[in-house]
Chain A
Amino acid sequence: MLIKFWSFLQGLLPRRGVVGHVYHGVLNAPVNFFQWFMERWDKMDLFDETHVEKAKTNPFYAIGGMWYWVWMLVIASGVLLMIYYVPDTSQAFVSIERMQANWKWGEIPIGALIRGIHKYGADAFIILATLKVYRMWFTGGYKNGHELSFIVALLLLIIGMYSGLTGYLLIWNQRALWATKVMATFPGYLDQNPSWIPGGDFINWTNQGKTTAQILLGGTSIGPATVTRFYAFHFMLSFLVMIFFELRVYHRGFKRMNISRWTKFILFMMLAGMAVLIPAAQGSPANPEVTPNPILSDWYFLAMYHMLKLQDPYLATVLTVGVPALVLLSLFMDRRPETGFKERAIANWIGIGGLIYFIVFSFLIINSIADLHRDAPLWYYSMGLFLLIGYFQDWGYVMKRDGKQWWETFHVFFVAFLLVSMSANTLFHYFGDIREWNVAAAAELPKVLAAHPGFTQDQALDFLEKTKPTLNLWLTPAATLAKGMPKGMELWKLHVALWLIIPAVGTVVGLFRWGAKRDALLDAAAAKAKAKTAGA
């Protein structure tokens, strides 16, 4: 019965054109997704256990094995730390101080050594996880049915970062307290969607952000409940992944770690050596009344911390959730089978760009360098440049590969969208300051600049805003603007309109081309089948 109904639905619309392909795509989505997922599930690779042979000659394929070994060391040392650690706000810091006091034969023998292995092991974990994600990115390791391996690697990296965050709150020091505060205030912005987003008000009404913060903290403030909760999460996540991986290895008969005993020994000695030479730092005890300046988080959050300075917090929250989602989406946008380094210019430039931003942003925040009024558009602009350079290299490659003319492989909408995004963003940032279009203020501005030679325009406007409240600068109403809007304003609006129109038209055109392409494929398959039967 069910099958009959399904066949009826299948026959309802022919499999032709955009509409037909979309209809059949949606209809077959559950079946296709199930097949797709099971294929990937079989091929899934967590810690390079499927690359045993490759790892013998190429060290980049031994990263997974090293990662899992470090993971084991971190779990083992963590379990040992649990013996002396007291998960309570009043005793946590002291209990670790006691452990750290003497690494030799002091109050707690080799306490500092074990804590050092745990701490540096966690750092090594993040480094190795990042290296594995990058290796898969640069070698196209997610292609040809390995998408799930990449997704899992990225998820494990995120789990690792979350374990790092929950882990360093357990020390109960200043750095941890303030990083946790920032992390717990973050989700609140998920309840502040603007009304023009479809369903925005509904999402706000459900209070997801506030609930998330409460689940993370075990209440509304960071206190004893937070510490026990973080203690549980910290242990739980690593342990669950380990159980899953061990079961998979057992069932499928994989080699657990694709590295030799010597590699394991050297890794262990490196961590132990670090723990002895540079005892793990502890900082000063948490104090909710004093924010240290500059405040820094663990090294892998630094770049993100700098990003928060440059953006509206709602946008920054959406981006923080959205960047991993975008990375996952990009896997499915890259449908070509090529895995060679020179054949994937865009992907390479995205990867290199990400690395550059990570390093530069970390450097900037450590040295406390930021000019909020100047920097943001530079970063947006450079992102567009990375993409454009990558695109044009790729364009040249495809032209040569397929022996086509330049216009046949040129993605006009993509390039136009990038160019307009870059200029619209900059125009908005530098000329979108609504105060500059206040006609009454424009007459006053030259006088202020003449009277105070050191002022920038921004400062002059601030000055006017304060000294002449009648100008109503900080809330310029539409009526003031309507008197006479300069041409630059229209230019800015035109850009925003283009910014929306170009991808819309591009999507429609792309859909029709996609439909035609699918039709051609089906026709070719049908012709081939016909020739076969005729031949028989």
Chain B
Amino acid sequence: MQETTRRTLLKALTSLPIVGGAVALQHVILRYFKPTMAGGLKAMAADPDSAGSSEQEIADVSELTQPWEFKEFIYIRKSVEYSSRKFQGAKIPAFIVRLPEEYIADKKDPKAAYVVVQRICPHLGCTFNFIPNSEELAGGYNYKAPAPFHPYFACPCHLSVYDPTRPQVIAGTVAGKAFDKLPGKVVSGPAPRPPRTMSFDIRGSKIYITDTEGGGVG
């Protein structure tokens, strides 16, 4: 018994460097799969969302004058691509919604009348919809909204529902910026947070998107 145990021990011990070598080799192979070869090792530290996207005009103020008028638009976010092209544009679908007077928190601020959010659901990345009627919301999205009814954002994949009129406090920072409130409180479903944000600006009669929050699969 002792002899066999010894032999097995030696066998097991010799297998250790082999296992170690395999692990080291595996690291190299896995590294090959990681798409980060643009600028050599330095680029490994670069966040793909750090490419810096340009401002894009998305709407005219005159398009959104009535309460609950909304517009779908696509914002092209640049992200670092680890190929000869260096950058790629990811299409981010988004909504801009005009709030009715009673929900505008700060009446003097022209930006407070709009809710601008990325349509990529923060739960698992589907594109959510603007639901203007209560039967559809109750039947298709399992949320019976309290009266008086107003439109909601709702995601068809896992039935998360967001209320555009209410902000939600989330802990910590989003992309390095501290937010006290994000528009679109989660009122139903499994979503862990409100929709991803977009910063925008109104200049003259045009609305521009200046920046977007990273994360989310475009």
Give chain A residues whose Cβ lies under 8 Å from the Cβ of B93: 288-289
A90-98, A305-313, A428-436, A502-510: which lies at the interface: A305-313
Residue of A3, A213, A309 near B9 (CB, 8 A) is A3
Whether B158 lies near A308 (C-beta < 8 A) is: yes
Taking a contact as CB atoms under 8 Å apart, the answer to whether A459 and B146 are in contact is: yes
Shortest distance from the beta carbon of A285 to any chain B beta carbon, whole Å: 15
Which stretch of B62-70, B108-116, B188-196 is in the interface? B188-196
For B169, give the chain A residue with the smallest CB separation: A475
Q: Mark B96-129, 1 if CB is under 8 A from A, else 0.
A: 0000000000000000000000000001111111
0 or 1 for each of A296-322: is its CB under 8 Å from B? (1 = yes): 000000000100111111101000000
How far is B5's CA from A463's CA once the two chains are assembled, in angstroms?
72
Task: Choose among A213, A215, A292 the residue that contacts B217 (Cβ–Cβ < 8 A).
Answer: A213
Task: Give the shortest distance, in Å, between A415 (CB) and chain B (any CB).
Answer: 31
Which A residues touch B134, using CB under 8 A? none
Contact for A463 among B74, B83, B146, CB less than 8 A: B146
Q: Are A184 and B34 in contact (CB under 8 A)?
A: no
A residues within 8 A CB of B74?
A: 289
The smallest C-beta distance from B32 to any residue of chain A, in angstroms, reads 10
Complex Cα distance, B126 from A294, in Å, reads 12
Query: How many chain-B residues does the 8 Å CB contact rule pick out?
Result: 59
Task: Report chain B residues within 8 Å CB of A480.
Answer: none
Contacts of A30 in B (CB 8 A): 9, 12-13, 16
Give the one of A184, A293, A314, A463 with max B CB within 10 A: A293
Flag if B129 contacts A293 (CB, 8 Å).
yes
Does B209 count as interface, using CB distance less than 8 angstroms?
A: no
Q: Which residues of B contact A181 (CB under 8 A)?
A: 124-126, 217
Q: Does A512 contact B (CB under 8 A)?
A: no
Is A313 touching B123 in the complex (CB atoms < 8 A)? Answer: yes
Residues 50-105 of B contacting A (Cβ, < 8 Å): 72, 74, 79, 81-83, 88, 90-91, 93
A186 on the B face (CB < 8 A): yes
Taking CB atoms and an 8 Å cut-off, the chain A residues in 2-43 that contact chain B are: 2-3, 6, 30-31, 33-35
A368 at the interface (CB under 8 A from B): yes
A109–B177 CA distance with the chains assembled, in angstroms: 58
Contact of A221 among B13, B90, B145, B187 (CB under 8 A): B90
Return chain B residues, CB-CB under 8 Å to A260.
Answer: none
Q: Given A3-B9, A294-B156, is A466 in contact with B190 using a C-beta cutoff of 8 Å?
A: no
Q: Mark B4-42, 1 if CB is under 8 A from A, else 0.
A: 011011011101100000000000001001111000000
For the complex, give the distance between the alpha carbons of A293 and B48 in Å: 31
A35, A213, A313, A371: the one within 8 Å of B8 (CB): A35
Q: Whole-angstrom distance from the CB of A360 to the nearest CB of chain B?
A: 17
Q: Given A2-B13, A220-B218, A309-B190, check contact A291 B169 (CB 8 Å).
A: no
Would you give 25 A-B contacts (Cβ < 8 Å), ordered by A? A3-B6, A35-B8, A178-B126, A181-B126, A182-B126, A186-B124, A214-B35, A214-B36, A215-B30, A219-B88, A221-B90, A221-B217, A223-B88, A289-B72, A291-B128, A308-B190, A309-B158, A312-B192, A313-B191, A313-B192, A316-B190, A370-B142, A455-B146, A466-B146, A475-B169
Binding site for B on A (CB under 8 A): 2-3, 6, 30-31, 33-35, 178, 181-182, 184-186, 188, 192, 211, 213-215, 217-223, 225, 288-295, 305, 308-314, 316, 368, 370-372, 452, 455-456, 459-460, 462-463, 466, 474-475
Q: Which residues of B contact A (CB under 8 A)?
A: 5-6, 8-9, 11-13, 15-16, 30, 33-36, 48-49, 72, 74, 79, 81-83, 88, 90-91, 93, 123-129, 140, 142, 144-147, 155-159, 165-166, 168-169, 185, 187-192, 215-218
Extra contacts, 12 of them, besides A192-B192, A219-B35, A370-B142 (Cβ < 8 A), are A31-B9, A34-B8, A34-B12, A181-B126, A220-B90, A288-B218, A311-B190, A370-B159, A456-B144, A460-B146, A462-B146, A462-B187
Closest 5 CB pairs of A and B: A293-B156, A221-B218, A185-B125, A221-B90, A34-B12
